[in-house]
Amino acid sequence: MSDTKLQSKIPSGPLSEKWTRHKAEIKVVSPANKRKLDIIVIGTGLGGASAAATLGELGYNVKVFCISDSPRRAHSIAAQGGINAAKNYQNDNDSVYRLFYDTIKGGDFRAREANVYRLAEVSSLIIDKCVALGVPFAREYGGLLANRSFGGAQVSRTFYARGQTGQQLLLGAYAALNRQIAAGTVKSYTRREMLDLVLIDGKARGVIVRNLETGEIERYGAHAVVVATGGYGNTYFLSTNAMNSNGSAIFQCYKKGAFFANPCFVQIHPTCIPVHGTQQSKLTLMSESLRNDGRIWTPKKKEDVEKLRAGKIKPSQIPEADRDYYLERRYPAFGNLVPRDVASRAAKERCDEGYGVNNTGLAVFLDFQSAIQRLGKKVIEERYGNLFQMYEKITDVNPYNEPMQIYPAIHYTMGGIWVDYNLMTTIPGLYAIGEANFSDHGGNRLGASALMQGLADGYFILPVTIGDYLSQDIQTPKIDTNHPAFQEAEKAVRDKINHVFNIKGKTPVDVLHKELGHIMWEYVGMSRNDAGLRKAIKLIDELKHKFETDVLVPGTNDEFNQELEKAVRLQDFIEIGRLIALDALDRKESCGGHFREEMQTEDGETLRDDENYMYVSAWEYQKNGDPILHKEPLNYEFIKPSTRNYKN
């Protein structure tokens, strides 16, 4: 099939002028006409909350839907380490271009130049906006906002609020959202989950949601729909995501015609507390900010490894000369601040060689001994105290005295719904922002860029670009939720729920989800190969059949029923898992978080194939059979893709 369906709408002109020119050229909606238009926003994390607040302030009628009882519970609060911006407060030669280049390079040259440059360009505005909203960023003695370093950069550009940056940024967005709720421009619906997208004449005109407290199925109409529901990392069951985080909303959009881009680009975060039992339901992330001052190592001697595992010695008793600071050894220019995918694979390599330091052999050390000696315990406590406290509560180990144990885990998903430069999907009137879309991170996201993208999309990009589409809709009346398209979509949702109840099997949902997670981690995880991916697809198909014949969903629909919620989401996770594997099988190269064992350099680094795979994979859903692959070429006009080098 032709790829004419993928119109990226990237503006012409110099890179630094594209966004300014585009804003000047696209259409706007007058204040009086904004009051005639309805917009639905699904999700109230940083992207959704900032978008809903800004759209409401502009004068649109906004309906915002939250899966939890309050937007304050959005998973954005877990982004602890910071948010990037090119303000050059440290006077260390940072710039918009340097932030743009680091982000493109960190993503292994698999993102659009124009989108990433725009992200870097508006980054400074985000900080100013958040300060105005009262976000308590850390400050230097002289009053300027403080910065720290993050992986993939050699400058300090990450703004932070101790170890709770995401939470503080979300509280700022939540305050802005509440202001608009009080003003009447935003109507908030909590404890609702989107289960289908409604199309009328090919345009997104509404959603079907389930009230999670009562089980009631509800219809809502609007002139445009914005999806801001995060990523699909919980496909792997064990991940750093909150249990509520799911890919169902974007998957329903995919099934209605929105292309799904780069699903195989899944990020493995290197600093997670290792798995400690078979009954774990999620993993806990230790912020990447810890790699500023923490040093990662394993013992040099196998006998020390054996003693550690047997509990005969403590890590602090291993002499400095017998420690292998392997990131500093392999990547001297960046050391412990290499990008996440590089650090994760390096940890796996050490553990595969038998140097893992815990009972399972799947852990390395993150040590603050040197930093405490250099800076003093008080400084470390001021920077990371709440993170150290969290680690001690979970592991019963005091990280001021002994190093933390960490191991890579599923974290962020760079793939998502395909969007053009305006953040609109292949469905007119449907927009995807933040982690729900694919646009800015390529094959790997640099740390402290998730908050940056969510707020850039919500505060500064979507509120401008959505007007270009809605300017054609000011004569369109309120969307009638009695339209046959709403009736049809609601019936499909009810049929889906009834079908799940009627299976009446014996296997609990979590058992099947764990099984899917094992398949995904084993064959579609940190490293992948042709045989493993083909086996994963076969096993996922078998798991789908097992779900359809033996899943157990107790209770009824007309009540609070978390087993039903999980079952409906697992249906989508199974399909998403298969799509991830299909995309990984198609992409016969290694780039960013996608590591094909057949495609690597002599020293185990990613080996891209720019000649054959310099494109965005955009998958089109087919009801019967495998999806159709469309390709959006990535044309690098302003930079030259090169082999990523973090060694010098």
Active site residues: 340
Please tell me the distance from the alpha carbon of residue 576 to that of residue 255, in angstroms, as a whole number. 11
Q: Distance between CA 424 and CA 464 in Å, rounded? A: 12
Between CA 592 and CA 340 the distance in angstroms is 9
b/e per residue 547-574 (b: at least 16 CB within 10 A): beeebebeeebeeebebbbbbbbbbbbb
Contacts of 40 (CB under 8 A, 6+ apart): 62, 63, 64, 65, 206, 207, 220, 222, 224, 225, 226
Calculate the CA 50 to chain-centre distance: 17
Burial letters 406-423, b for 16+ CB under 10 A, else e = bbbbbbbbbbbbbbbbbb
Burial class of residue 603 (count of CB atoms within 10 Å of its CB; 0-12, 13-18, 19+): exposed
CA angle 586, 592, 596 (to 5 degrees): 45
Residue with tokens 């978008």: 51
* Rounded Cα–Cα distance for residues 304 and 314 (Å): 10
Distance CA 581, CA 526 (A): 13
Both structure tokens of 82: 């910071």
Residue 36 sits at the vertex; the CA angle it makes with 35 and 39, to the nearest 5 degrees, is 85
CA dist 304 to 299, 300, 364, 401, Å? 6, 8, 13, 19
Sign of CA dihedral 521, 524, 528, 534: positive
Burial degree of 284 (CB within 10 A; 0-12, 13-18, 19+)? middle
